[in-house]
Every structure is written in C-alpha cells, then in structure tokens.
Amino acid sequence: MLYRLYNSQDLDELYAIEEVCFELPDRFGRRYMGQLVVSPNGATWIAEQEGRMAGFAIVEWAQDADEPIAYIETIEVLPADRGQGVGSQLLARIEASASSANAAWIWLHVDAGNQGAIRLYEANGYGCEGREEDYYGPGRAALIYAKRLDSETAA
C-alpha cells in the first residue's frame, strides 16, 4: 500500500469512496469535501493500492484558546480493503501532520454504533471524553474521542 498526500486529480475517486462508505444524509457534500481537501490548515492522506485509491483520511487544525488542536474530519476505507491496517496507517499519518502543525490534541466524533472505528481509535490511544446525543440525526449519538499528541507523533 502506498500512502501519499492528496493532489488535485484525486477528488473524483476520493468522493466515490465517500459515496460507498456513507449513505445520504450522512455523507459530506461534494462541494464541502472539495473545500476540506484543499484547506491550508489541514492534510488529506490517500491510501493507494496498484493505482487505485483504497481509502483516505482528512484532518484539520486550528488555534484553540490555550493551544493548537486538530480535528479528524473522516477516515474512510473501502470495504474490500478493511481489516488490513489501512485505517491505522492513515490515522498515524494524519496524527503526524497535526503534530507537525504543532497541534497538542487531536479529537473526533464517531458514531456510537461504529464498533470498528471505535476499536481503531481505542487501539491507538484515544480516550472517550463524552457523548453527544442526536449528533448524526435523531437517535444516533456520537462519542467524542481525544488523544494528546507529543513530539514522537510527528516522527
């Protein structure tokens, strides 16, 4: 698997993965996704296998009142490529990008029913910091996970 940063030719294939991984109304709009991937305060990593995109991850960072923080917008892996460590590798790369941008913390929302994603975050040192009811719509809660980044994360 090759891991690389997003380039302008990637949007169509990247958005096709979004359409596979999320049903309406849960998926990002194409225009919004296009804005995320070119944000100057973020990074989009691509996982590529034999010339085809297998997944991607997007992180953004900003200055909080106390210190820079990062937010994981999404990590998406095609169903056929799951269970092979692609999500973990993408997570490591967006953490390194956030750490390089001096973010001290990284956090995210995850659907409370998405056990695969929850296992991924917990296995990589994220702790559950709370819960937001109806975040993904009526009756669909989000769990809020966070992790402190350190200088080793950027390596």
Identify the CATH number of the domain in which residue 55 sits.
Answer: 3.40.630.30
Q: Record the pTM.
A: 0.93
Q: In the prediction, which pLDDT does 23 show? A: 87
* Residue 119 belongs to domain spanning: 2-154
Q: In the prediction, which pLDDT does 153 show? A: 57
| Averages of pLDDT over each 10 residues, the chain, 155 residues | 97 97 90 96 96 97 87 97 96 97 96 95 97 94 95 56
Q: In the prediction, which pLDDT does 134 show? A: 95
107: closest CA among 119, 95, 116?
95
Domain count, the chain: 1
Q: In the prediction, which pLDDT does 152 show? A: 59
Residues in a beta bridge with 63: 68
d(CA 77, CA 86): 7
